[in-house]
Amino acid sequence: MKQLKRIGLFGLLLPCLWFFQSGSTSSLPDQHTLPGAEICMTDKDSVAFLNKQKIAQAEATLNARTLAVAKSFLGTPYVHGCLDRHAEECLTVNLGELDCWTFMENSLAIALAKDGNFQTYLQQLQELRYWGGYVNGYGSRIHYFSGWLLQNEKRGLLKDLTREMGGSPYKKEIGYISARPAKYPKIKNPDNLRALKSAEKRINAHNWYYIPQEQVAQMEHLIQEGDIISLTAWKKDLDISHQGFAVKINGRIHLMHASSLNKKVIISKQPLPAYILSQPGQTGIMVARLVD
């Protein structure tokens, strides 16, 4: 058994810290953590959390808090595969490097930690990132953003507005990851593959809608600042290829996102309709709104 590290509220000074649900006296939240689950982070992340939590606490609503935190990440370096650096699955905290998904997830998790408590942030991050809020290997992580939307709508954190905005049925058989073990070697583990296929089945059982890229302009007036914008993928077995937050500039909606092209968190220069049309790998958008 790995040695238990007892951690103070903001005294997280080791890269990887272990705690256990059974018999743990650690102050970290463990009610949703299976035995052996790991937190991977550095001391810089707890300091960054404190600074961003001050920004969040100045706002009254979840939407405003999330958007304020997201804006504080502008300029943060984009790094691909932030959650896949460790051999064993762990709750990874990295506020100094972001990809398009972790940018959004961390912004929301920090906003949800209304009490300013780092422990609460860790719990929120885990519940956002993992099916049922449980860390139990690679297969327990949500690997499709539509799955992330589905779980967190059921948790009452957001509402998918795509259909009521006039979206069209989005009919796909999602299975991109399970079909590519060479690209995702961790699914060669039978347990991981089984869990992933179960998640794909869950996603495929849901009725999805999207707004085709040529119709985004006429729907732009329905989008509000802070809405979650998911960019649907052209690949036949992939749901969503990118995501970001809607922000309003001079009366127009733009996309704030962690850009792989620009290598940092940015706000798109083009308004959303033009931006979507300029992206050859995407077919349209889904729109979700945070709920207080």
CA atoms within 13 A on the CB side of 147: 25
Cβ pair 149, 160 in contact under 8 A: yes
* DSSP structure class, residue 52: H
Whole-number pLDDT of residue 37: 59
Whole-number pLDDT of residue 34: 46
pLDDT under 50: residue ranges of the chain: 1-36
Beta carbons within 10 angstroms of residue 110's beta carbon: 29
Cβ pair 146, 232 in contact under 8 A: no
pLDDT tens digits along 182-203 = 999 999 999 999 999 999 999 9
Cβ pair 42, 92 in contact under 8 A: no
22 torsion bin: left (phi>0), alpha (psi -120 to 50), beta (else): beta
Whole-number pLDDT of residue 14: 31
User: What class has domain 16-140?
Assistant: mainly alpha
Whole-number pLDDT of residue 32: 47
Q: What is the pTM of this model?
A: 0.88
Give dist(CA 32, CA 123) in Å, integer.
8
21 torsion bin: left (phi>0), alpha (psi -120 to 50), beta (else): alpha
Query: Quick one: 157-290 is in which CATH superfamily?
Result: putative xylanase like domain (2.30.260.10)
Give dist(CA 157, CA 140) in Å, integer.
20
What residue ranges do the domains of the chain occupy? Answer: 16-140, 157-290
